[in-house]
C-alpha cells in the first residue's frame, strides 16, 4: 500500500484529501498543518508521496519543498494550489515538484495526479 503525507493548513482540505486517498486504497501516514510539522513528518515517516499546499502558516510551501528536497532528493511531491498561484506553482515545478492539483479539485483529478506521480 502506497504511503502518503498530506500537508495543508486547512483541516477541511486535509479531511477531504484524506478521505479521497484512503477510499482509493492509499495509506495516510501523517497530516501536517504547517511547514515545521511537514519537515519533521517527511523525515520521520518517509512516505512514497507528499501532497503540499503552497500557502502555509509558518513558511511558504516553497521553503518546505526545498527543505524536503534537500534532505530527501527523491521524494515525490505534488503541489496543491488555488487559481491565481501559477507563479508559485511554476517555481515549485522547477524545484522538483512532480505535478500540481488546483483547488477546488475533483476526486478523479486528485487520484489521477497522485497515481501518475507514484508511477513515475
Contact status: 22 vs another protein (CB under 8 A): yes
Q: Which of 3, 66, 69, 103 binds another protein (CB under 8 A)?
A: 103
Contact status: 27 vs another protein (CB under 8 A): no
Backbone dihedral angles phi then psi of residue 52, each to the nearest 5 degrees: -125, 120
Backbone dihedral angles phi then psi of residue 10, each to the nearest 5 degrees: -95, 125
Place of cell 510539522: 37
Shortest distance in whole angstroms from residue 10 CB to another protein = 4
In the stretch 1-20, what mask flags binding to another protein with x, by CB under 8 A? --------xxxxx-xx--x-
Residue 55's alpha-carbon distances to 63, 64, 98, in angstroms, are 10, 10, 18
Number of shown-chain residues binding another protein (CB under 8 A): 19
Instruction: Give the Cα separation of 97 and 114 in Å (integer).
Output: 12
Which residues contact another protein (rule: CB under 8 A)?
9-13, 15-16, 19, 22-25, 55-57, 82, 103-105
Amino acid at each position: 500500500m502506497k504511503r502518503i503525507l498530506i500537508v495543508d493548513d486547512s483541516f477541511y482540505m486535509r479531511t477531504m484529501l484524506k478521505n479521497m486517498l484512503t477510499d482509493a486504497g492509499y495509506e495516510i501516514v501523517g497530516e501536517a498543518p504547517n511547514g515545521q510539522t511537514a519537515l519533521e513528518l517527511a523525515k520521520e515517516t518517509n512516505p512514497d508521496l507528499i501532497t503540499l499546499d503552497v500557502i502555509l502558516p509558518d513558511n511558504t510551501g516553497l521553503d518546505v519543498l526545498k527543505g524536503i528536497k534537500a534532505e530527501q532528493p527523491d521524494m515525490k511531491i505534488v503541489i496543491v494550489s488555488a487559481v491565481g498561484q501559477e507563479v508559485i506553482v511554476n517555481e515549485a515545478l522547477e524545484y522538483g515538484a512532480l505535478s500540481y492539483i488546483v483547488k477546488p479539485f475533483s476526486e478523479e483529478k486528485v487520484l489521477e495526479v497522485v497515481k501518475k506521480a507514484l508511477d513515475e
